[in-house]
């Protein structure tokens, strides 16, 4: 493993391409003067380029099933017509053009070739923007109150390319790590063990027609291991471990990850041997990674002040006109606070210097004494907030909206883990239970096996992804593994039922997407890096149902030599 | 694979259940591909791809009635899903063995459940029109023939595609374009419980180029040309690729300025490639065996065996064993199909009379055996598909003569002009009963031929449409030229490589309809210029 880290530190990212900037500068200038007869000219043109290398590998049981390593260059062009008060942005025509175009760019620095792609993207984006503005204005007819402005104009920002962390793993290292981790979790009794490794590093270059020229180093590394056990009764039990970081230095070394992968297999086999799950109604402790995921899933949407996209009046899919976050809403018990500050320098995956809209992030004290007092903002103003807080980010080429960066949640009073367990047992006894459910890990939103959280048919919405790892705390202090449970009817109000907090696991890095269904479809290694530092919590009452099922195997499938 | 299959067969054989798996087949495809692309004079990127996929086919029941039998009036949403398995492309045998056993277990339990539905469906529904069996016996095959890996000079091809793509910069009306080399290396393993053990593969290379423009009326125009070959030695050299690019660029610009023609009917010539696709769509898909017993299908030719369906000067064969024709490697060449059956030359139409169908191991009435046309893209069920469809003609005349016949036909029909379909991009057809049994062939290059002797005129904006029986009856003559269309065909069993070859055909009457067009204005500003 020492070898892996040494090699990782030695690996380099190509320098910021002056040729790329020069080519885009040329086309940006031409795009600003595009003009259709009887149509407005652009008031704002934004070119966002990504230039880097992606290494990706997937392995099962020690053998690669996917290995892709290639340079990557992409251009996102956004053209806006109108003005900052009302423009063509932030309108959803459900499949209709929206003024944003993206194209793959050549991976080498040919001026004409780069400019051609930018030229085609800008031309299409401008035409789409003109149509979008007319649809948006038509949809606004009859509105009694003018919506807030569509863009926060800021002085241009010029930021040259600084040093790049230069820590990308090499292709063989990524492949080798996937092999090793999947092999480590592949023990007798585990039906399948897969590892996915992704290393993306490069540059983000943002140019706009107001004069902003921003280079920013970007990238992250993601490692996930997932194992599945199929019980004799046919039900599947799965668990995973994952590591997300800005660079290889922020991850444990390969030997430590291998060790974790082996531990995953061991604990999974123990969980699979647990008795048939029963419905649960009672106190639940969310500890470590589960606590971070709990806050990420339930709290994050309540902190985002980005207003929904406008739609045609009467549209079936029309979202509400206001952001999900409400200033003044109680989210947490009295005394609790939450703030987001991606500008710190602790090495968290969710930290950054400049957001995707060219704004430096600042600390936002979102929850004070349990009540929402401020929200995370992009450059799309809302009724309550006119200014960006530097949280405008997005998945790929999507609309930029506010996303959490590095969120810290604090309780007014922390008790020890032992004290919290004691209190939980007392709570349990008060409702006739002799046990407490302890959830150690929740399925990350990105890795849910189905969209049950969003669509659950007849049954009440789960509202929270299923536990990966949980156990039932006994009176004697032992914790008996529990398996295959799903939450029932959870929403943000669960956070108000938190009755105690204990020291958490420290910072947890994760990958996420904007609030909404797309959050659950970003894939195992995609997403926007975010970080959470939260305490472990005791919730007074949570409901879970068994999620068992499946058909027993007919064939005996042992490992060679283990049959 | 063999060990896993034996292990699965032994375990399944020990089951008490009356419905045992009587047929188990494993297929593993190791797919490697490389796409090297140049655009606008720059190296656009090199995208490698490598995966290994597994197909497990388990049949429960008997040859006469098994779990694959069609369930009539089945809801779309109750259709049998087919899991797609990826397995490591490296490592030892045990991970593969275990994955195969898992897949077999899933497939067996799925088949058992489906057979239950099949039986109740048979009890509830009226008697089937075709009560032939669901599966047939085929001799076991042993074959070991792995083609050598292709050796590609990546740096050289990077330069070739870059340089060729720069040629388009000389044509300002070509807005978007690319030149690419796509290299595909497929290795296949096939075993079944009848003793078949196959390891073979396919090598394929395509040099392709495309150009796009927008006409002033908003019509989006695209011209695509390519060369398909099976070996590096047959790849075109840089000069030929440049010539191909220049031709595509010139054709794109010419099309942009060509007039649009209105919906029309009249006499036309389908040049070889266009005629090949025409036959692939309107004939080839309708003689695929499974459509003859599926009562949801139109069954245009099911009951016409022994009857004339084409003019007597035309015959049609499908022969996957042919590797090259008219100096071209044929895309539809293979030795064994995906059921491990040796590909056969099938004489479908002899001097106008329908004689045979394309068959997999699923029999149809009067055709109890496979002729080696059971094909699929990995991850799909196998059905009979075309391989190398060849239209053959007797009494052919030189193309120049065929053109004179077209002009003469114009005179007979008192039409001022006719059409020559020179090149096509593809086509599609509907074969079911719930939709009109029509076809669409999408031409790229169409020439207007005037009765009064004016020079031919390039036109745009039309698709060739029709229905099969009517159109077949109107083929008047064939030219002595034979051209090959290489492509991939998509249908129920996924995308499979095919070819279609034909001489040019004179048709007494075809119909064209206006083609779907874009509505965007051409780019508002001039393209960026320069050489680098």
Same-domain pairing of A166 and A285 = no
Minimum mean pLDDT range among A20-29, A549-558, B316-325: A549-558
Q: Which chain A residue shows the shortest CA-CA distance from B90?
A: A63
Among residues B86, B106, B141, which one ends one of the domains?
B141
Interface check for B105 against chain A (CB to CB < 8 A): the answer is yes
Same-domain pairing of B384 and B446 = yes
> Is A556 inside a domain boundary?
no
> Is A458 inside a domain boundary?
yes
* Per-residue pLDDT band at A12 (split at 50, 70, 90): low
* Per-residue pLDDT band at B532 (split at 50, 70, 90): low
Token pair belonging to B155: 């740096």
> Is B198 inside a domain boundary?
yes
Out of A27, A192, A556, closest to residue B11 by CB: A556
Confidence check: pLDDT of B202 > 60: yes
Confidence check: pLDDT of A3 > 60: no
Same-domain pairing of A230 and A371 = no
Taking CB atoms and an 8 Å limit, are B524 and A123 in contact across chains?
A: yes
Question: Shortest Cα distance from A102 to chain B (angstroms)?
Answer: 14
Same-domain pairing of B284 and B373 = yes
Confidence check: pLDDT of A167 > 70: no
> Is A142 inside a domain boundary?
yes
Q: Using CA atoms, how far apart are residues B168 and B246, in angstroms rounded to an integer?
A: 7
Q: Which chain B residue shows the shortest CA-CA distance from A37?
A: B524
Confidence check: pLDDT of A497 > 80: yes
> Is A402 inside a domain boundary?
yes
* Per-residue pLDDT band at A83 (split at 50, 70, 90): very high
Minimum mean pLDDT range among A150-159, A486-495, B18-27, B223-232: B18-27
Confidence check: pLDDT of A77 > 90: yes
Out of B11, B40, B525, closest to residue A34 by CB: B525
Interface of A with B in 134-193 (CB under 8 A): 179, 186, 191-192
pLDDT of res. A447:
66
Q: What is the DSSP string of A158-170?
A: EE--------PPP
The total number of structural domains that make up chain A: 2
> Is A46 inside a domain boundary?
yes
What Å distances lie between residue B126 and A288, B123, B298, B394, CA to CA?
Answer: 62, 8, 19, 45
Indicate the burial class of A52 (C-beta count within 10 angstroms; 0-12, 13-18, 19 or more). buried
Average pLDDT (A59-71) is 92
For A100, what's the count of Cα atoms within 13 Å in the CB-facing half-sphere? 14
Same-domain pairing of B166 and B287 = no
* pLDDT > 90 fraction of chain B, expressed in percent and rounded: 80
Same-domain pairing of B251 and B364 = no
Average pLDDT (B503-507) is 97
pLDDT in tens, B268-298: 999 999 999 999 988 999 999 999 999 888 8
**What is the overall mean pLDDT for chain B?**
93
Same-domain pairing of B274 and B423 = yes
Question: Shortest Cα distance from B179 to chain A (angstroms)?
Answer: 13
Residue with tokens 């229905």: B467
Indicate the burial class of A463 (C-beta count within 10 angstroms; 0-12, 13-18, 19 or more). buried
> Is A555 inside a domain boundary?
no
Q: For the whole prediction, is pTM greater than 0.95?
A: no
pLDDT of res. A448:
66
Same-domain pairing of A418 and A482 = yes
Taking CB atoms and an 8 Å limit, are A554 and B42 in contact across chains?
A: no
User: Which residues lie closer than 8 Å to B135 by C-beta, 6 or more apart?
Assistant: B23, B59, B63, B66, B68, B361, B362, B363
Interface check for B47 against chain A (CB to CB < 8 A): the answer is yes
Same-domain pairing of B124 and B241 = no
Same-domain pairing of B278 and B400 = yes
- Cα angle vertex B200, ends B195, B205, to 5°? 155
Confidence check: pLDDT of A211 > 70: yes
Same-domain pairing of A433 and A532 = yes
Same-domain pairing of A260 and A334 = no
pLDDT of res. A168:
65
User: Which residues lie closer than 8 Å to B85 by C-beta, 6 or more apart?
Assistant: B53, B54, B55, B56, B99, B103
* Per-residue pLDDT band at A517 (split at 50, 70, 90): low
* Per-residue pLDDT band at B424 (split at 50, 70, 90): confident
pLDDT in tens, A302-324: 999 999 888 877 666 555 556 67
pLDDT of res. A322:
60
The total number of structural domains that make up chain B: 3
Question: Shortest Cα distance from A123 to chain B (angstroms)?
Answer: 6
* pLDDT > 70 fraction of chain A, expressed in percent and rounded: 90
Q: Using CA atoms, how far apart are residues B5 and B55, in angstroms rounded to an integer?
A: 12
Among residues B94, B115, B141, which one ends one of the domains?
B141
> Is B455 inside a domain boundary?
yes
* Per-residue pLDDT band at A5 (split at 50, 70, 90): very low
Q: Where are the alpha helices (DSSP H) in A171-253?
A: 171-185
Same-domain pairing of A242 and A298 = no
Same-domain pairing of A263 and A304 = no
pLDDT of res. A563:
39
Cβ pair A239, A185 in contact under 8 A: no
Confidence check: pLDDT of B5 > 90: no
pLDDT in tens, B41-98: 999 998 889 999 999 999 999 999 999 999 998 877 676 677 778 899 987 788 888 8
Q: Which ipTM did the prediction report?
A: 0.90
Confidence check: pLDDT of B187 > 80: yes
Average pLDDT (B417-424) is 93
Out of B45, B94, B528, closest to residue A71 by CB: B45
pLDDT in tens, B156-184: 999 999 999 999 999 999 999 999 999 99
> Is B463 inside a domain boundary?
yes
Task: Count A/B contacts: CB-CB distance under 8 Å.
Answer: 143
> Is B41 inside a domain boundary?
no
Average pLDDT (B413-442) is 88
Same-domain pairing of B268 and B413 = yes
Q: What is the CATH number of the domain that holds B194?
A: 3.30.2290.10
From chain A, pick out residues whose CB is under 8 angstroms from the CB of B521.
36, 127
Interface test with chain A among B29, B33, B44, B92, by most A beta carbons within 10 Å: B44
Q: Using CA atoms, how far apart are residues B115 and B107, in angstroms rounded to an integer?
A: 12
Instruction: Classify strands B475-491 and B494-514 as parallel, antiparallel or unpaired.
Output: antiparallel
Q: Using CA atoms, how far apart are residues B488 and B332, in angstroms rounded to an integer?
A: 9
Same-domain pairing of A362 and A449 = yes
Q: What is the CATH number of the domain that holds A113?
A: 3.30.2290.10
Q: What are phi and psi of A200, to 5 degrees?
A: -120, 125
Taking CB atoms and an 8 Å limit, are B525 and A555 in contact across chains?
A: no
Same-domain pairing of B217 and B98 = no
> Is B521 inside a domain boundary?
no
Q: Which chain A residue shows the shortest CA-CA distance from B54?
A: A65
Same-domain pairing of A497 and A530 = yes
Confidence check: pLDDT of A464 > 70: yes
Same-domain pairing of A85 and A189 = yes
**What is the overall mean pLDDT for chain A?**
89
pLDDT of res. B57:
95
Q: Can you give the residue range of the structural domain that contains B253?
A: 154-257
pLDDT of res. A8:
37
pLDDT in tens, A133-162: 999 998 888 788 889 999 999 999 999 988
Taking CB atoms and an 8 Å limit, are A116 and B528 in contact across chains?
A: yes
Same-domain pairing of B308 and B197 = no
Interface check for B163 against chain A (CB to CB < 8 A): the answer is no
Average pLDDT (B321-329) is 94
Same-domain pairing of B182 and B166 = yes
Instruction: Classify strands B142-145 and B197-214 as parallel, antiparallel or unpaired.
Output: parallel
Same-domain pairing of A253 and A156 = yes
> Is A553 inside a domain boundary?
no
> Is A460 inside a domain boundary?
yes
Same-domain pairing of B196 and B325 = no
pLDDT of res. A58:
95
Distance between start and end Cα atoms, chain A:
33
Q: Using CA atoms, how far apart are residues B288 and B389, in angstroms rounded to an integer?
A: 12
* Per-residue pLDDT band at A354 (split at 50, 70, 90): very high
* Per-residue pLDDT band at B144 (split at 50, 70, 90): very high
Q: Can you give the residue range of the structural domain that contains A214?
A: 10-267
Same-domain pairing of A374 and A439 = yes
pLDDT in tens, A401-432: 999 999 999 999 999 999 999 999 999 999 89
């Amino acid at each position: 493993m020492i070898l892996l880290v040494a090699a990782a530190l030695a690996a380099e990212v190509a320098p910021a391409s002056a040729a790329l900037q020069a080519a885009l500068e040329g086309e940006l200038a031409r795009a600003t003067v595009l003009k259709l007869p009887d149509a407005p000219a652009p008031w704002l043109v934004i070119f966002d380029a990504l230039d880097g290398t992606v290494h990706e590998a997937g392995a099962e049981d020690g053998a690669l099933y996917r290995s892709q390593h290639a340079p990557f260059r992409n251009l996102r062009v956004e053209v806006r017509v109108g003005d900052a008060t009302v423009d063509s942005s932030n309108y959803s025509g459900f499949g209709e053009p929206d003024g944003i175009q993206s194209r793959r760019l050549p991976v080498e620095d040919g001026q004409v070739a780069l400019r051609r792609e930018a030229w085609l993207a800008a031309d299409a984006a401008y035409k789409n923007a003109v149509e979008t503005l007319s649809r948006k204005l038509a949809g606004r007819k009859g509105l009694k109150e003018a919506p807030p402005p569509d863009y926060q104009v800021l002085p241009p920002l010029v930021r040259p390319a600084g040093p790049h962390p230069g820590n990308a793993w090499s292709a063989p290292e990524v492949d080798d790590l996937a092999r090793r981790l999947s092999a480590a979790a592949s023990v007798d009794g585990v039906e399948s063990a897969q590892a996915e490794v992704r290393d993306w590093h490069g540059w983000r270059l943002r140019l706009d027609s107001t004069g902003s020229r921003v280079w920013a180093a970007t990238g992250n590394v993601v490692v996930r291991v997932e194992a599945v056990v199929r019980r004799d009764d046919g039900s599947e039990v799965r668990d995973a471990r994952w590591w997300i970081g800005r660079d290889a230095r922020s991850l444990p070394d390969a030997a430590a990850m291998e060790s974790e992968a082996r531990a995953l297999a061991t604990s999974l086999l123990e969980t699979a041997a647990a008795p048939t799950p029963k419905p649960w109604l009672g106190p639940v402790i969310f500890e470590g990674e589960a606590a971070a995921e709990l806050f990420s899933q339930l709290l994050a949407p309540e902190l985002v002040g980005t207003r929904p996209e406008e739609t045609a009046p009467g549209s079936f899919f029309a979202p509400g006109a206001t952001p999900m976050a409400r200033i003044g809403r109680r989210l947490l018990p009295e005394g609790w606070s939450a703030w987001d500050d991606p500008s710190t320098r602790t090495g968290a995956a969710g930290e950054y210097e400049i957001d995707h809209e060219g704004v430096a992030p600042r600390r936002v004290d979102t929850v004070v004494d349990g009540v929402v007092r401020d929200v995370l903002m992009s450059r799309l103003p809302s009724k309550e907030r006119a200014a960006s807080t530097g949280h405008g980010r997005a998945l790929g080429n999507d609309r930029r909206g506010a996303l959490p960066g590095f969120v810290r949640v604090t309780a007014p009073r922390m008790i020890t883990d032992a004290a919290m367990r004691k209190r939980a047992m007392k709570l349990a006894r008060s409702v006739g239970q002799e046990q407490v459910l302890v959830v150690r890990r929740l399925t990350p939103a990105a890795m849910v096996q189905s969209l049950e959280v969003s669509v659950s048919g007849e049954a009440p919405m789960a509202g929270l992804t299923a536990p990966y790892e949980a156990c039932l705390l006994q009176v004697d202090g032992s914790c008996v593994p529990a398996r295959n449970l799903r939450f029932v009817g959870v929403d943000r109000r669960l956070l108000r039922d938190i009755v105690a907090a204990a020291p958490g696991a420290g910072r947890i890095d994760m990958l996420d997407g904007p609030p909404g269904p797309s959050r659950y479809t970003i894939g195992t290694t995609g997403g926007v890096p975010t970080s959470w530092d939260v305490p472990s919590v005791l919730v007074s009452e949570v409901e879970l149902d068994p999620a068992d099922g499946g058909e027993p195997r007919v064939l005996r499938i042992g490992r060679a030599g283990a049959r | 694979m063999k060990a896993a299959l034996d292990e699965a067969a032994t375990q399944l054989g020990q089951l008490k259940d009356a419905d045992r798996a009587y047929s188990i087949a494993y297929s593993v495809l190791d797919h490697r591909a490389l796409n090297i692309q140049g655009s606008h004079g720059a190296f656009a990127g090199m995208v490698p791809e490598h995966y290994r996929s597994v197909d497990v086919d388990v049949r429960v029941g008997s040859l006469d009635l098994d779990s694959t039998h069609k369930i009539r009036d089945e809801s779309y949403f109750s259709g049998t899903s087919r899991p797609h398995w990826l397995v490591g492309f490296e490592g030892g045998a045990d991970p593969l063995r275990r994955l195969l056993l898992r897949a077999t277990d899933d497939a067996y339990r799925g088949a058992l459940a489906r057979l239950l539905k099949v039986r109740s469906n048979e009890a509830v529904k009226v008697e089937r029109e075709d009560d032939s069996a669901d599966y047939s016996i085929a001799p076991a095959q042993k074959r070991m023939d792995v083609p050598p890996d292709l050796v590609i000079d990546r740096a050289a091809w990077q330069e070739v595609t870059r340089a060729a793509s720069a040629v388009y910069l000389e044509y300002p009306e070509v807005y978007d374009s690319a030149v690419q080399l796509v290299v595909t290396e497929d290795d296949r393993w096939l075993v079944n419980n009848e003793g078949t053990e196959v390891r073979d593969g396919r090598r394929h290379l395509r040099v392709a180029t495309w150009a796009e423009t927008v006409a002033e009326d908003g019509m989006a125009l695209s011209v695509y040309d390519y060369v398909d070959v099976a070996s590096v030695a047959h790849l075109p050299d840089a000069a030929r690729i440049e010539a191909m690019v220049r031709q595509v660029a010139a054709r794109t610009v010419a099309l942009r300025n060509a007039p649009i023609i209105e919906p029309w009917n009249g006499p036309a010539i389908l040049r070889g490639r266009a005629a090949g696709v025409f036959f692939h769509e309107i004939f080839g898909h309708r003689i695929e065996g499974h459509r003859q017993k599926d009562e949801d299908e139109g069954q245009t030719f099911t009951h016409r065996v022994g009857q004339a369906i084409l003019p007597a000067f035309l015959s049609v064969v499908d022969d996957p064993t042919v590797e090259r024709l008219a100096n071209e490697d044929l895309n539809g060449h293979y030795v064994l199909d995906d059921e491990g059956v040796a590909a056969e030359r099938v004489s479908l139409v002899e001097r106008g009379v329908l004689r045979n169908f394309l068959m997999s191991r699923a029999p149809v009435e009067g055709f109890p055996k496979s002729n080696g046309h059971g094909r699929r893209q990995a991850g799909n069920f196998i059905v009979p598909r075309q391989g190398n469809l060849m239209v053959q003609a007797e009494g052919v005349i030189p193309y120049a003569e065929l053109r004179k016949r077209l002009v003469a036909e114009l005179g007979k029909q008192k039409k001022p002009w006719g059409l020559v379909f020179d090149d096509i991009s593809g086509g599609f057809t509907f074969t079911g009963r719930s939709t009109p049994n029509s076809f669409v062939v999408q031409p790229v290059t169409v020439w207007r031929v005037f009765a009064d002797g004016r020079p031919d005129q390039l036109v745009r904006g039309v698709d060739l449409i029709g229905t099969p029986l009517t159109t077949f009856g109107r083929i008047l003559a064939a030219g002595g030229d034979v051209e090959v269309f290489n492509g991939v065909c998509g249908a129920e069993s996924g995308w499979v490589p095919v070819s279609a070859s034909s001489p040019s055909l004179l048709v007494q009457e075809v119909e064209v309809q206006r083609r779907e067009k874009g509505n965007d204005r051409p780019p508002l500003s001039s393209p960026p210029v320069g050489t680098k």
